[in-house]
Structure 1
């Protein structure tokens, strides 16, 4: 019985979310808007619902992934097919049977296309809908028992049956007198996504779109207005948007490019303006071409433009410059934007979260940095040369011998986890002042850390390698010794990151995850940063006390006391291996990450008066540093802190300008017993136009057993949270 209930919940959720999926959304609120619109004509809504349910049911029978069923991913294309069938044929048993099989056909086509497109990281969009509906339309030419619907011909009769003469008069006034022509066509284009053909339905959809996403709503207007203006400029009859229901291509393309697959920004909006005329050209050309087979163009222009544009972006030489692709999809442009800004603040513009560390122990000096004056130019500009200096010199004595140089024969360490893919060995070291231009890189090792992420270390000492090709290496593992081989007049270590495994590949910009920088005998921890010319850096030590305290293991259970009430927490991992803490008492959860160098939260959802939320705000990001009194700064994603009402108007201009900010500060303070306990102080500021309007301060105390307590001040009221037990407890 319990299993059956879960299946019904899964199918019901998937069915509801099939509707907003068409607008790249997972909003239940928006789904009810769209569901209502499809049932303006009940038989139309019914065929769409049945077809979507058919596809989801067959997906369940075939044991396809749960998250793709419950999210509506396997339902939205079938929904469109069902609406297409319902717009052409009169409802009856034959249409019901046809709709059931149409759902299965759409699912088969969708899974097939998905298998191909996934290899290229491309979305399938509504291609399954197009192919399925076209095949059904071509086939049904031979189906003699199907009746063509009279919905379009006798629209007024339907309105009269629904609302009497007043409904007809109001409809005629709204469509033909009240609205200016461009606005009328805009609403009609919105409604035609769901095979409606009236501005009233489009108005309701637009209201739902605004409530779901202000960015998506603004993009829909910009995309349509640009296309409409281009059609006027070219002398194209704009009433074709009403006749052929093609205006929605402009709307969906604008939302997809401007705010869903691309992070919303000034540049994404500009590309919407640039691409909209192409959608017009493609729409007219494909319409004329498909007329030969008596097929409508439907959403084909939108699919082609979006897929072609996203495919081209993969070949950029500077990924995420100007246009940043959405790496973690949150199904709302605002959330995508705010989460991206948080990611960029933490990790910079890197596509990978792979941590690379300085490849040595002790203090080393940057002899030649990025865009160096000697050899780090053009395609090799993103490289670093390291040496060891003492009193400003790289050598002792007169520097005439290799052994005079402080870095010569020093160990070179693996900068990260990976596999050795290439080693060049047995090239002799040069005499001081001499260079080997034939074997430019000298003895070299290349390590693969991820797809399109390799590190190269060069000018090593021949015969000193401690690993071989094919070996898996860990961060900090000895690789070889510093030498003076290749184009190297004096011993130094050359380091670069590249996208390809070949020695001497073009370099890419990539930061070190952590390093200490020395200035006037003071050391400061740098996070996801790139050292500059003459910087003196070293690999930092890890604070094991902090690492242990914030090391949450799946299955671990924690009791927390707040105001004499006990809250039960449990640590889980989801199907994507992401770790989160779930509070059984408040039904809240927070996604966390511990990379061995730091602990940080990715998101929170639930009760904002629960101890889990206070934990989230107090320890949003913790660096496992041994350096006390250094302040670390981070930014909260705005949608995690502020309500819908506060962000409503801010969202409209957020891609261009943001006047709301929530900043997090944390600092480690040592107590009297430095090795056994410590205290973390945090401070959160909510700012409007750089003016602080609200603050939150807290203190987290830690000992060798873990977190002891959190003391926070909320609205001038003290909140004390005690961690009384860590480990297992009985249900």
Structure 2
């Protein structure tokens, strides 16, 4: 029972702290602790604020708010109670009014929050507070027991313009003093440097805009234009967006709109002695976000359902680009099994132009030529009559099979695509594979196919001067429809004079040679719920005999890896690659070392070399590297990684060597891992500076679940020549 009470009390406190942090748009409860303490500079005001936060949480809970909605109820309740406590002198009437407004704002948050999300797919933000505050001001003069607090001008700290910037942050908690604002800025700066950049951009852009139009200072005095501009800039360009020049420009635009709305609404509401509060920020953010997320050019730039620090969003976006390609691009497999050459790439110099620029042509080259003999017959060409494979999952939509092959050097413009197969994919667009041999296409219209299925044989039909495979993605089923971006997945690539290496997602250039990496079983760990590996680990001579990692399923149905010290990451294992991302949870250097060794492991046994530039530097076991990654963002946020793998016949496993290097700082980490078939990663050795980490697997295990018995099996490894590993076993 006490454990149940403790867990729920911790949950309540975290949600209250998240509410305090949300006022400054910080999505972390830890920042809320400091911000709560700042409100207690005047203890009775801080106490009323905390009372209002608790009442709003209870109101949200009663109204059925979930774990994501309750902190929004809390932050609206905090704003209402702090506003009441700072506006009127302390007394029982103020406490009663703070409780009433907090409860009402909590219920309003749930009711209107569902409407705005359902109708606009936008969050309610602090609009409930603005409405409740206006109602409170309208009724305040009717209560004889309420006495207004006298206004006391805050002392200067740096100077007029700088003080106004800091005071705007203090005003978020109704403490408009430069000193309090400076402390709040420091809290934000610790959590996100980019938030402060956006705040400066939004503030000064709005200030210059208002100044250039000659806005009267007396008209701006009671509008809080600066607070609204700062919040709009941070929200649009940071909390919901991937950092980029486009989203930064939209953040500035939102700030200018918010300052204009603050002036306009301030003038209108002044007639009835009201104040716009944070409504200008909410309306400006809504307008800009609503327009931006519906712009196809901004696809992938915003993630409103999952707000986060921009630094984390940038990390996730770069990792996604490296692992699955651009958000608007579709993954294709190769339409062949052997090594082929790209004869014309995207925006090629012949036919891949304008609306049809996203297309690839493939041929087979030997000794610099695509044909044998004199090349006068289609049979002379190396790729002619070679198998053609399906590049995507989908349904065969159309088949043309009867177009005769051309003689080499001639084309059939009347039947431009020749014999082709059109495949409808998951999103309603269509993959086209064209110029096939007559009567060679095997699937019929309506059939369902998957990547790697045999669909026909290479020919020379249609607008094709020599046998080749043409492949593209088009937006509709009409032949000649505009093409759309796609990329190739899991290939061995030779390009730009570089040796053959592995690429998980790539758009090849002309003259690049490609080979599909076959499915393999190189797995650092087998992703089954409850399955895990136990290790004996050491740093230099300091040994920890029991460290483990296991797989679980999170609330969203994603597979996660978890260490016994409560470190986490999301993991995926496909036919092509084992990959981990979104490291979270407690600090655990061994978990980070494991990820640095195995978090990007191609599954195919063919792969010997590959590179990566998307692993975050915060995983490095170096305080200097992690500090530089935070301060010099984004230039030192990621590390450059070079991988090499070979089969160890003696150990009957794969040796995987990695060198990670942080740009500019030159900090290097060298790792070697041993991956055994059907077992996983059984040994890791890592060196950085004067530290040597070793991890030796001792057993694999299965955690018990309903209908699944627990078991544990010892792993016996004879590979003990290394000094640290020998020390582990001798110990």
TM value normalised by structure 1: 0.82
CA deviation after TM superposition for structure 1 residue 645, in Å: 7.8
* Within-5 A mapping of 1:375-394: 375-390=351-366, 392-394=368-370
CA deviation after TM superposition for structure 1 residue 507, in Å: 2.5
- Structure 2 Cα separation of the partners of residues 501 and 36 of structure 1: 61
- Structure 2 Cα separation of the partners of residues 56 and 470 of structure 1: 54
Match of 1:167 in 2: none
1:551–1:238: structure 2 CA closer, same or farther, 3 Å change rule?
farther
Residues 541-562 of structure 1 show CA distances to partners (whole Å, capped at 9, x for unaligned) of 2332x13x43321221322222
Residues 618-657 of structure 1 show CA distances to partners (whole Å, capped at 9, x for unaligned) of 22322234346525344431334378887667656525xx
* Within-5 A mapping of 1:118-137: 118=121, 123-124=122-123, 126=125, 129-130=126-127, 133-134=130-131, 137=134
Match of 1:116 in 2: 119
Asked if 1:476 is matched to 2:471, the reply is: no
Q: Which runs of 5+ in 2 are unaligned?
A: 538-542, 704-709, 712-731
Query: What SS does the corresponding residue of 2:697 show, helix, strand or coil?
Result: strand
CA deviation after TM superposition for structure 1 residue 226, in Å: 2.5
- Structure 1 Cα separation of the partners of residues 61 and 478 of structure 2: 46
Query: What SS does the corresponding residue of 2:224 show, helix, strand or coil?
Result: coil
- Structure 2 Cα separation of the partners of residues 505 and 599 of structure 1: 36
1:717–1:296: structure 2 CA closer, same or farther, 3 Å change rule?
closer
1:419–1:149: structure 2 CA closer, same or farther, 3 Å change rule?
farther
Match of 2:720 in 1: none
Residues 303-362 of structure 1 show CA distances to partners (whole Å, capped at 9, x for unaligned) of 343333334444656557xx95469957223333344444445555x0168642112222
Match of 1:17 in 2: 18
- Structure 1 Cα separation of the partners of residues 241 and 498 of structure 2: 44
Match of 1:700 in 2: 674
Match of 2:159 in 1: 180
- Structure 2 Cα separation of the partners of residues 497 and 188 of structure 1: 54
Asked if 1:331 is matched to 2:308, the reply is: yes
- Structure 2 Cα separation of the partners of residues 136 and 636 of structure 1: 46
1:719–1:530: structure 2 CA closer, same or farther, 3 Å change rule?
same
- Which of 102, 107, 117 aligns to 1:104? It is 107
Q: Would the aligned equivalents of 1:241 and 1:247 in 2 still touch at CA under 8 Å?
A: no
1:474–1:601: structure 2 CA closer, same or farther, 3 Å change rule?
same
Residues 458-486 of structure 1 show CA distances to partners (whole Å, capped at 9, x for unaligned) of 34457655445665432212334445554
1:407–1:683: structure 2 CA closer, same or farther, 3 Å change rule?
closer
Match of 2:395 in 1: 420
- Which of 659, 662, 672 aligns to 2:649? It is 672
Q: Would the aligned equivalents of 2:410 and 2:464 in 1 still touch at CA under 8 Å?
A: yes
* Within-5 A mapping of 1:267-666: 268-269=247-248, 272-273=251-252, 276-291=255-270, 295-314=274-293, 318-319=297-298, 324-325=301-302, 331-347=308-324, 350-351=326-327, 355-390=331-366, 392-394=368-370, 406-416=382-392, 418-420=393-395, 422-425=397-400, 428-429=403-404, 431-432=406-407, 435=411, 437=413, 440-447=416-423, 449-451=425-427, 454-460=430-436, 465-467=441-443, 472-498=448-474, 503-517=479-493, 523-544=500-521, 546-547=522-523, 549-562=524-537, 563=543, 565-584=545-564, 586-605=565-584, 610-627=589-606, 629-641=608-620, 651=630, 654=633, 658=635, 662-666=639-643
CA deviation after TM superposition for structure 1 residue 45, in Å: 4.7
- Which of 243, 264, 267 aligns to 1:264? It is 243
| More moved, 386-395 vs 717-726 | 386-395
CA deviation after TM superposition for structure 1 residue 368, in Å: 1.8
Match of 1:243 in 2: 222
- Structure 2 Cα separation of the partners of residues 645 and 38 of structure 1: 34
- Structure 2 Cα separation of the partners of residues 327 and 551 of structure 1: 33
Query: What SS does the corresponding residue of 2:197 show, helix, strand or coil?
Result: helix
Query: What SS does the corresponding residue of 1:25 show, helix, strand or coil?
Result: coil
- Structure 2 Cα separation of the partners of residues 59 and 353 of structure 1: 41
| More moved, 495-504 vs 379-388 | 495-504
Asked if 1:222 is matched to 2:222, the reply is: no
Q: Which runs of 5+ in 1 are unaligned?
A: 157-171
Asked if 1:728 is matched to 2:725, the reply is: no
Residues 218-267 of structure 1 show CA distances to partners (whole Å, capped at 9, x for unaligned) of 32223212222332222223455542223111111222244333333556
| More moved, 4-13 vs 308-317 | 308-317
Match of 2:726 in 1: none
CA deviation after TM superposition for structure 1 residue 377, in Å: 0.4
- Structure 1 Cα separation of the partners of residues 422 and 135 of structure 2: 56
1:609–1:76: structure 2 CA closer, same or farther, 3 Å change rule?
closer
| More moved, 261-270 vs 558-567 | 261-270
- Structure 1 Cα separation of the partners of residues 444 and 7 of structure 2: 52
Q: Would the aligned equivalents of 1:465 and 1:480 in 2 still touch at CA under 8 Å?
A: yes
1:613–1:516: structure 2 CA closer, same or farther, 3 Å change rule?
closer
- Structure 2 Cα separation of the partners of residues 95 and 313 of structure 1: 37
Q: Would the aligned equivalents of 1:424 and 1:442 in 2 still touch at CA under 8 Å?
A: no
1:645–1:671: structure 2 CA closer, same or farther, 3 Å change rule?
closer
The root-mean-square deviation of aligned C-alpha atoms, in Å, is 3.9
**Paired residues, number:** 693
- Structure 2 Cα separation of the partners of residues 377 and 261 of structure 1: 35
Q: Would the aligned equivalents of 1:218 and 1:652 in 2 still touch at CA under 8 Å?
A: no
| More moved, 569-578 vs 260-269 | 260-269
- Structure 2 Cα separation of the partners of residues 550 and 356 of structure 1: 27
| More moved, 460-469 vs 282-291 | 460-469
